[in-house]
Chain A
Amino acid sequence: GAGVSQSPRYKVAKRGQDVALRCDPISGHVSLFWYQQALGQGPEFLTYFQNEAQLDKSGLPSDRFFAERPEGSVSTLKIQRTQQEDSAVYLCASSLRGGTVYGYTFGSGTRLTVV
């Protein structure tokens, strides 16, 4: 597609529920990233894929967070047993390839509210 598409746009979950957030990157983009943006803060890195390989997951805050990109295109970020501190905007971005030169194209994000 023309841009990075994320769904749902908004998600309200009861504490303890599992949620799945979807990201559809720009066609042909090799690199895919997930970021978490708390209210009033800058985005914080969660995890990075190159094609289907998850090369860096050092930013995932706990083992309740899991991400996958099985066919090297669409990615899903799953949060199990959601907690209130998980409330944030989850941003997905894609990049043509790895390396230091390329900027990212971001999606509009999924705003997760845990009640």
Chain B
Amino acid sequence: GNSVTQMEGPVTLSEEAFLTINCTYTATGYPSLFWYVQYPGEGLQLLLKATKADDKGSNKGFEATYRKETTSFHLEKGSVQVSDSAVYFCAFRGYSTLTFGKGTMLLVSP
């Protein structure tokens, strides 16, 4: 069935380190792919998206590329900040509904 697999957290980094959070999906067809972020005590916010193969989504220094061959959508950032500490969710959208991964907590220390 449809599913999203994310690397388990927490991911603990020092400020200015490089970030990668892996995400792979299983779905029929070529769904749109999303990364959502949930800051402590807040709701889910759309971070970035890609709607077709080889598209790169980017926002606030974060990037992810839609890789059809490997069914992946890994999230990267070149230099993380303390304010990036949050839970990150990878998701894809089928015809109507979003299917989420379990989330990866990122903790960035000064």
**Residues on A facing B (Cβ under 8 Å):** 31, 33, 35, 40-45, 48, 50, 55-56, 59, 91, 93, 98-109
B46 touches A103 (CB 8 A): yes
Asked if B17 CB lies within 8 Å of chain A CBs, one says no
Q: What 10 A-B pairs are tightest by C-beta distance, nearest first?
A: A42-B100, A108-B43, A106-B44, A103-B46, A42-B102, A106-B43, A45-B97, A100-B32, A43-B100, A42-B103
Tell me the nearest residue of chain B to A98, going by C-beta: B96
Task: Give the shortest distance, in Å, between B18 (CB) and chain A (any CB).
Answer: 25
B103 touches A100 (CB 8 A): no
Other A-B pairs beyond A99-B95, A104-B98, A106-B44, 20, CB < 8 Å: A31-B96, A33-B98, A40-B103, A41-B102, A41-B103, A42-B102, A42-B103, A43-B100, A45-B98, A50-B96, A56-B96, A93-B98, A100-B32, A100-B93, A100-B94, A100-B95, A101-B93, A102-B93, A104-B46, A108-B42
Task: Give the shortest distance, in Å, between B52 (CB) and chain A (any CB).
Answer: 9
Among B36, B51, B98, B103, which residue has its beta carbon within 8 angstroms of that of A101? B51
Compute how far the CA of A108 lies from the CA of B42 in the bound complex, rounded to whole angstroms: 6
**Residues on B facing A (Cβ under 8 Å):** 4, 31-32, 34, 36, 42-46, 49, 51, 89, 91, 93-103
A91 touches B43 (CB 8 A): yes
* Chain B residues closer than 8 Å to A93, beta-carbon distance: 44, 98
* Chain B residues closer than 8 Å to A103, beta-carbon distance: 32, 34, 46, 49, 93
Compute how far the CA of A48 lies from the CA of B44 in the bound complex, rounded to whole angstroms: 18
Among A45, A91, A100, A101, which residue has its beta carbon within 8 angstroms of that of B44? A91
Compute how far the CA of A52 lies from the CA of B49 in the bound complex, rounded to whole angstroms: 28
Among A35, A42, A45, A105, which residue has its beta carbon within 8 angstroms of that of B46? A105
Compute how far the CA of A25 lies from the CA of B55 in the bound complex, rounded to whole angstroms: 29
